[in-house]
C-alpha cells in the first residue's frame, strides 16, 4: 500500500529512504577514504633467515564490492547514483571512482598481481567486457541483407544432334 500524501517520510513527494549522500562532495570524501585505505595497507611478514617480523606495504586491490562496503551502500544503490534520474549530480563522481577501480584491475592483471580468471570475471561483470564478437552485415546504403535468397539454376540449352553430327558427352 502506498504511503499517504504528505507523510513525513516522503522526499519531495518521491517517497523512499533518504539518500546516503547529500552531495557529490560527501560521496567523494568517502570514496577517497576507501582508496586511501586500500593503498596504505601494511602486512606483517616473517623473515625466517632473520627470525623477525617486518611490515611491508601491500595495497588491497580496488573492487566495486569494497567501494560499496566503504560507502555503506549496496551495489544497486551505486548503480542508481551512476545512472538514475534524480542522481545526475553524482554521475561524474561515481564514473570516476569506477574508472579508477577498472584501471587498478587491469593493471594488476597485467602485472600478474591478480588471478587472471578472477580479473576476467570482474571485467566482464563490472565493466561490460565480453569475449563474443558481433558482426552486422548490411548491403548497399546500410540496408540489411535479405537472408531469404531465391536461387534459380539455369541450364544452358541442350543441342540436339543430327544423325550425321557427332554427339559430345557432356
Q: Is 51 helix (H, G, I), strand (E, B) or coil?
A: coil
Supply angle C-alpha 57, 125, 69, rounded to 5: 50
Residues in the chain: 170
Helices 64-71 and 91-110 cross at an angle (nearest 10°) of 140
- pTM (predicted TM-score): 0.65
Q: How far is CA 37 from CA 19, 31, 57, 74, 119, in A?
A: 24, 10, 12, 19, 21
65 contacts: CB under 8 Å, gap ≥ 6: 75
pLDDT in tens, 106-141: 999 999 888 888 888 988 988 888 887 777 777 777
For the cut 90, the answer to whether the pLDDT of residue 149 exceeds it is no
Distance between CA 95 and CA 83 in Å, rounded?
9
Q: Which of 46-60, 118-132, 134-148, 154-168: highest mean pLDDT?
A: 46-60
The stretch 85-112 carries a mean pLDDT of 94
Amino acid at each position: 500500500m502506498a504511503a499517504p500524501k504528505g507523510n513525513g517520510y516522503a522526499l519531495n513527494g518521491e517517497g523512499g529512504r533518504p539518500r546516503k549522500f547529500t552531495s557529490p562532495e560527501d560521496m567523494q570524501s568517502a570514496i577517497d577514504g576507501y582508496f586511501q585505505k586500500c593503498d596504505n595497507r601494511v602486512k606483517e611478514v616473517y623473515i625466517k633467515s632473520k627470525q623477525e617480523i617486518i611490515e611491508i606495504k601491500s595495497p588491497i586491490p580496488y573492487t566495486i564490492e569494497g567501494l560499496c562496503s566503504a560507502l555503506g551502500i549496496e551495489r544497486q544503490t551505486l548503480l542508481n547514483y551512476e545512472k538514475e534520474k534524480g542522481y545526475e549530480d553524482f554521475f561524474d563522481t561515481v564514473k570516476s571512482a569506477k574508472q579508477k577501480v577498472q584501471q587498478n584491475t587491469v593493471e594488476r592483471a597485467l602485472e600478474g598481481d591478480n588471478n587472471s580468471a578472477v580479473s576476467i570475471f570482474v571485467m566482464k561483470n563490472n565493466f561490460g567486457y565480453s569475449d563474443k564478437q558481433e558482426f552486422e552485415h548490411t548491403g548497399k546504403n546500410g540496408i540489411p541483407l535479405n537472408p531469404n535468397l531465391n536461387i534459380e539454376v539455369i541450364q544452358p540449352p541442350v543441342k540436339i544432334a543430327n544423325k550425321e553430327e557427332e554427339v559430345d558427352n557432356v
